[in-house]
Amino acid sequence: MGLLEYQRIIRIKQAYTVKYRLVQGESAMLMKFYMTPGSCSTGIHILLEELGLVFEAYLVNLLAGDQYKPDYLAINPRATIPTLVREDGIPLCDFISIAWWLGRTHPKSGLMPATINDEARALEMMNHVIHGVHGQGFARIFTSEKFTLDDGDQQAVQAQGREMACKDFAIINNKLSEHLFVLDQFSIADCALFYVEFWADRIDIPLPENCAAHYRKMLKRPIVRQVLQEEGYASALRG
């Protein structure tokens, strides 16, 4: 699926939200989701769809520099994705705050752990994924130029990133529950872990046994399959 096809899907979602506005009244404001296909925002996209929420989706083309445009910076001055603008107009501008807010505002969904101890474990895992696996490992792989001033060092930086990601996956591997979720059942933390597993799969970083099983289990979820197809990654569902 190419960019134009994905934009068509976004327009379809927005057309659906227009119907929602007509039912709820013109005063109803919908959530606005700013995302990039195949990025960390994929995890939030999965959560939104798991909850069956109606939202407006906006594509942020990172390679084209959309995140640095004035209109986007007015919403998210950090120039990052994902961003979710709540119905009250307040933007949430990082994965953990968005996932936590979605889970806490929809307690019957089961996406937020039921006990404070499990909630702490979920937050710990999301922090490990986002600030470790993503922020240290994959950041060096995908944006090696930010870690060195010498173009000749970029391959070494990327190799270091792969090593760091592998070490973090090994730590996470030992933390997965016997049910192969982060906790005893599917939660917000699994969507964070999934997106880095997805990246590992795309660039041939081997996942340890439990992480690989978690990734395969996530790929069987209907909503995960739907989101990957919508974002143009149906190939990840084959094999």
Q: Which residue has the tokens 């944006």?
A: 143
Tens digit of each residue's pLDDT (9 = 90 or more) over 187-213:
999 999 999 999 999 999 999 999 999
Query: What's this model's pTM, rounded to 2 decimal places?
Result: 0.88
Residue-level pLDDT at 127 = 98
Residue-level pLDDT at 180 = 86
CA distance 16 to 157: 44
Residue-level pLDDT at 18 = 43
Residue-level pLDDT at 213 = 95
User: Rounded to the nearest 5 degrees, what angle is found at the Cα of 43, between the Cα atoms of 37 and 46?
Assistant: 90
Helix (H, G, I), strand (E, B) or coil at 150: coil
How confident is the prediction along the chain (239 residues), in pLDDT tens digits per residue? 344 444 444 544 544 444 444 444 444 678 999 999 999 999 999 999 999 998 989 999 999 999 999 999 999 999 999 999 999 999 999 999 999 999 999 999 999 998 999 999 999 999 999 999 999 999 999 999 999 988 899 999 999 999 999 999 999 999 997 778 999 999 999 999 999 999 999 999 999 999 999 999 999 999 999 999 999 998 877 75
Q: For residue 84, what are the β-bridge partners?
A: 33, 92
Residue-level pLDDT at 217 = 96
Residue-level pLDDT at 239 = 56
Does a cis peptide bond (omega within 30 degrees of 0) precede residue 37? no
Strand-pair category, 55-59 with 91-92: unpaired
